[in-house]
Structure 1
Amino acid sequence: MQRVFSGIQPTGTPQLGNYLGAIRNWVALQQRYDCVFCLVDLHAITVSRTPAQLRGDTLTQAACLLASGIDPEKHILYNQSAVSAHTRLAWIFNCVTRLGWLNRMTQFKEKAGKDRENHSAGLYIYPSLMAADIHAFKATLVPVGDDQRQHLELANDIGEKFNHDYGVDFFPHIEGLIPAEAARVMSLRDGTKKMSKSDISAQSRIELTDSADEIRLKIRRAKTDSDAIPATIAELAERPEALNLLSIHAAIVGEKLENVVAHFSGQGFGHVKSALSDALIEKIVPIGDEARRLMNDEAYLVTVLRQGAEKARSIAEPIVDEAEKIVGFIR
């Protein structure tokens, strides 16, 4: 069975974009593949984090994943820092990766902005650690969105250069798993920006731990326009907030967007917001209820992560041991 690797940063409470864009897909992948799910806390400290924030967010992320349907008995769920294979292989990859490759990474440029010189070296070499995350398990499949395609291409370049430099056929080629209809969830306050855990306004996002009342309030306050719903998707091209709410509705109920647009055609956004709130509450509130229950049992969450790390080490350590021998390290 092919192995899937996927990681998610424990930074804040997971929001609807994380669920529709990644977590829901992870749950489905468990039926077909051998899955390794990682809370990438090493990546999380590439930007400033307090120890309490990092620990709390890691446990919250774990609780939300479990509540969403990740099965730690049949698959692996763990935190990255608990498995030293990640950092061991990342250093080797740092020495394989060319500066020119890293300079082309658009995500660093976007995150660093004009203040590039004051950002951490960790943020700059983030992609080589990401490559190590995947190759440490010899995973051949990685779920990716548009913002991670470039990093996946780099991971393949790094693995191929390692193989070439050392005359081996050790690291396999990685394929991206792209959902047929990937949900792109935008901010409830600005339909031109992605929904984000880091947005200052909590009103811009639906979090997986939101109550029914919070969901209704956020959707009621979501930015829209005064025009009725048109008959076709093409007519929504210049109406990003309208398109966003209809797209979220289509994704959460598992319906094609064109069908949702046709269903609401001619109606105002009061009808859309009411139906969307009901659909979100039906899907999200049970996840939040279970996540809160799990967050009250920290010992259980820690045990799940430790057991997952033990299983992860049993796979990754022998692979990285062999990579180090190939390099010439004396073991």
Structure 2
Amino acid sequence: MSSFKPLVFSGVQPTGNLHLGNYLGAIRKFVALQESHDCIYCVVDLHSITAQLVHDDLPGQTRAITAAFLASGIDPKKHIVFNQSRVSQHAELAWIFNCVARIGWMNRMTQFKDKAGKDRENASLGLLAYPSLMAADILVYRATHVPVGDDQKQHLELTRDIAAKFNNDFSQKIGELGLGVEMQAGDETVNGYFPLTEPLIDGPATRVMSLRDGTKKMSKSDPSDLSRINLTDDADAISKKIKKAKTDPEPLPSELGGLKDRPEAENLVGIYAALSETSREQVIAEFGGRQFSVFKPALAELAVEKLAPVAAEMRRISADRAYVDAVLRDGGERASAIAERTMKDVRDIIGLLDD
């Protein structure tokens, strides 16, 4: 009995400008994980059409996300960077998972409820089935780990549910074909074809909130550009946005517990901690008791120091469209080879003839 080779998969949607939340919550973690894992990073362009079918420039947005990956330090030679639609096995496995997942599971997804709003009957079927495609993205590579923010934990739990049901429903066939892999499921050791993928959640700013409202997540879709720091913002824009960020009139507390019920203060402390790669406690130890008139300039200086080089490198890479396209093409070919091996097994397990 073999074991799963550790493998990280994650993806980012090509919708709107990448912002600080994407960088701290995802892309910077992608870069760090390269040192310890084999990694596959994907621009999930199929996901981008679930809520909005028509985009002004989807190819341009896809290339921009790719440039952000590369500018941040992801190595496309040692690892794999590609766009999702280039590898048809994602959609093929997603259909099979649509038949594995239960409607009740999908109806419980809080992101669908949030995005569909009150007019749920008018939402696309793709939006409802989004988590099934996400499960296929991960499991078509039999990935063992996914770096996720707090808001994606529920989708990853669904991915595990889908994997477990597939493994259980086809346990006999998986055994007959010799495709089972031993894994731990809670206190029990089980055999199955797909891994029960684990989340990777760490760091002081796993969820970065809006600069205008500390109770809402930083978002590309927020109508106010002052609510977020875009990765393409120059130094002046970064400083301006932080200095205009909403705060309360009280100084920063001398203890971490003092941030309770102060969402804007907590958000800015978390951003400082993440950018400086320290803890919130260390930030409070340094700035506790000081006014925001002292803390904000320090945060602005730190943000410019960390983000301005990434923005400059993004602009340089984006100008070389041929290079970006070559990275996606090479990554797609390498990803497709892995995905097809999985799909060959899955077709055999289910009984779908493909030769």
Q: TM-score band (shorter)?
A: over 0.9
Contact persistence 1:14–1:207 (CA under 8 A) = yes
Equivalent position of 2:180 in the other structure: none
Corresponding residue for 1:97?
A: 101
- Given residue 100 of structure 1, which amino acid in structure 2 is its aligned partner? G
1:272 positional shift: 0.8
Q: For the residues of structure 1 that align with 2:281 and 2:97, how far apart are their CA atoms?
A: 45
1:291-310 CA-partner distances (Å, limit 9, x unpaired): 01111111111111111000
TM-score of the two chains, using structure 1 as the length reference: 0.97
In structure 2, the partner of 1:22 is 26
1:181, distance to aligned residue in structure 2 (A):
3.9
Q: Is the 8 A contact 1:191 1:244 kept in 2?
A: yes
In structure 1, stretches of 5+ residues that fail to align are none
Aligned match for 2:128, one of 102, 124, 129:
124
| Equivalent residue letter for 2:166 | F
Count of residue pairs brought into register by the alignment: 331
The residue identity in structure 1 corresponding to 2:208 is V
1:256/1:116 Cα in 2 relative to 1: closer, same or farther (>3 Å)?
A: same
For residue 222 of structure 2, the aligned residue among 166, 185, 199 is 199
Asked if the contact 1:5/1:142 (under 8 Å) is kept, the reply is yes
1:306 aligns with 2:310: no
SS in 1 for 2:41: strand
Listed as ranges, the gaps of 5+ residues in structure 2 are 175-191
Q: Could you tell me whether the CA contact under 8 Å between 2:204 and 2:273 is conserved in 1? A: no
Identity %: 56
Q: Which residue of 1 aligns with 2:313?
A: 290
Cα contact 1:246–1:272 (8 A) shared by 2:
no
1:183: how far off? 3.1
Q: Which moved more, 1:171-180 or 1:62-71?
A: 171-180
Q: Counterparts of 1:103 and 1:201 in 2: how far apart (Å)? A: 31
Cα deviation code 1:143-180 (max 9, x no counterpart): 12221111111111111212222232321221111225
Instruction: State the match for 1:41 in structure 2.
Output: 45
1:73 aligns with 77
Q: 1:163-209: CA deviations, max 9, x gaps?
A: 22223232122111122545321111111111111111111001111
Indicate if the aligned counterparts of 2:149 and 2:206 stay in contact, CA closer than 8 A.
no
Superimposed CA distance per residue, residues 27-47 of structure 1 (whole angstroms, 9 cap, x where no aligned partner): 000001110001111111001
Q: What does residue 60 of structure 1 align with?
A: 64
8 Å CA contact 2:317, 2:324 repeated in 1: yes
Q: Counterpart in 2 of 1:276?
A: 299
Amino acid at match of 2:318: M
Match of 1:252 among 275, 278, 286: 275
SS of 1:41 mapped into structure 2: coil
Letter paired with 2:225: A
Deviation at 1:246, TM superposition (A): 1.7
- How far off its partner does 1:81 sit? 0.2
Q: 1:265–1:166: structure 2 CA closer, same or farther, 3 Å change rule?
A: closer
Match of 1:137 in 2: 141
Contact 1:229/1:268 (8 A) holds in 2:
yes
Q: Are the equivalent residues in 2 in contact too, given 1:186–1:194 (CA < 8 A)?
A: yes
Per-residue CA distance 1:200-258 (angstroms, 9 max, x = gap): 11110011111001011111111112222221122221222122212211111112112
Contact 1:185 1:195 (8 Å CA) reproduced: yes
Give the alignment's Cα RMSD to 1 decimal: 1.3
Letter in 2 for 1:161: K
**Aligned mates of 1:181, 1:42 — CA distance in 2:** 30
Contact 2:142 2:194 in 1 (8 A): yes
Q: Does 2:116 match 1:112?
A: yes
Aligned to 2:181: none
- Point out the structure with the larger helix share: 1
Letter aligned with residue 262 of structure 1: A
1:188 aligns with 2:211: yes
Q: Residue 176 of structure 1: SS of its match in structure 2?
A: strand
Alignment partner of 1:132: what SS?
helix
Distance 1:35 1:180 in 2: 19
